[in-house]
Amino acid sequence: MSADTADNDSERTIYRDYEVLTMSTRTTRKTDSATEVGVPEMVTISDVETIVAKAVKAAVSVVREEFEKLIKGMKDQIQSLEERIEHLENDARPRDVPDVTELCNKIDAVTRENRRISVAANEAEQYNRRNNIRIRGLAVKKDDDCRKVVLELIRSKLHVPVSDDDIELAHPVPLRSQANQASSGSDVVMVRFRHREVRDQVIRQRKLLKNSKRTIVEDLTALNLELINRLKKTPRVEKTWSWNGHVYALLRDGRKLQVKPYESVPECDSRS
C-alpha cells in the first residue's frame, strides 16, 4: 500500500470517527437536555481534542509503517547480496572459473555494495534512536517506577529541570546472558525523550556523574558499537566518542576524524 493510499485511508478513518463522535455527542446531549428547548448542539473542546489526537495517531502510524517497510526492504536486499556472495565463494574453484582475478573483482564489488546498503540501513536505524539515551549503573528494583527513578536522577544529579511529560518511556534493557551481566557489572536503562533538545541537555550534563558508578551514553546501533570497539583497539587512536549517532576518533597526533562503519583510520585519512 502506497503512502498516498494510506493517507487517504487515515483521512476516511478520521472523518468516520468524527461523524460517530459528533452523532454520539448530539445523542447524549439530547438525552441529558431533553427538557431544554432552543439550546444549540455544539462540539466541545474535548471532542475536538479527541479528534485531533486520533488524527495525529493515525498520521504517525502511517509514517511508521512506511519507515518499517523501507528498513525491511533494505534488510531483504542485504540478505540477498550476502547469499550472492556466499554462492560466488562456493563456486570459486580454479577448474570452474578460469579467470580468478575477474571473480575476485566481482566479489569485491558485491561486498562494497553490501556494505553501502548496510551503512544506509544503519544510518536509518540510528536516526530512529535520535531521542534515546542509555543510563548504565542505574539500579531499578522490580516494583519501582522506572520513569520516576530516571526523573529523580536527572533532576537531583544532573540539575536538569525536566517534566514528567519530557520522558516518553523508560525501561531496563534485558541482558542477553549472564556473561554480559558479568562484563558490564551494572544495569542498563533505555530512556526515550519526546524532544531531542531535552535529550541533548541531559547528555551535556552527564559530566556531573564523573567518578560515580553511573554513566550516560547515546543509544547506538550494534554496528556503531562494533565500530567504537574496533577503534579503541587501534594503536593510532587516543580516544573515541559519539554525538548525534556519528562516531569520532581523536588520533594520537591530535587530529579528529569522523569514522563510518567498515572504514579504517587510513581510509578516513585519505577521505579527509
Give the torsion sign (CA, 133, 136, 138, 141).
positive
> pLDDT digit string (tens) for 177-198?
434 444 444 589 999 999 999 9
Provide the pLDDT for residue 95: 53
What confidence category does residue 34 fall into, taking pLDDT thresholds of 50, 70 and 90?
very low
Q: Can you give the residue ranges of every domain in the chain?
A: 3-128, 132-219, 223-271
Residue position matching grid coordinates 574496533: 230
What confidence category does residue 78 fall into, taking pLDDT thresholds of 50, 70 and 90?
confident
Q: What is the DSSP letter of 219?
A: -
Provide the pLDDT for residue 97: 47
CATH of 132-219, one of 2.60.120, 3.30.70, 1.10.287, 3.40.1350: 3.30.70
Beta bridge partners of 241: 248
Q: Average pLDDT of the chain?
A: 81
Of the candidates 270, 229, 221, the one whose C-alpha atom is nearest the C-alpha of residue 246 is 221
In this model, does residue 139 exceed pLDDT 60? yes
CATH fold match for the domains 132-219 and 223-271: no
Provide the pLDDT for residue 190: 95
Q: What region does 239 belong to: left with phi over 0, alpha with psi -120 to 50, or beta?
A: beta
| Nearest-5° Cα angle at 214, 210 to 216 | 85
The mean per-residue pLDDT over the stretch 257-268 comes to 89
Considering the segment(s) 223-271 as one domain, its CATH architecture is: Beta Barrel (2.40)
Provide the pLDDT for residue 179: 40
Helix (H, G, I), strand (E, B) or coil at 124: helix
| Helices and strands counted in the chain (H then E) | 8, 7
Helix 45-91 vs helix 100-128: crossing angle, to nearest 10: 160
> pLDDT digit string (tens) for 150-176?
999 999 999 999 999 999 999 998 765
The pLDDT > 70 percentage for the chain reads: 76
> pLDDT digit string (tens) for 43-52?
687 877 788 8
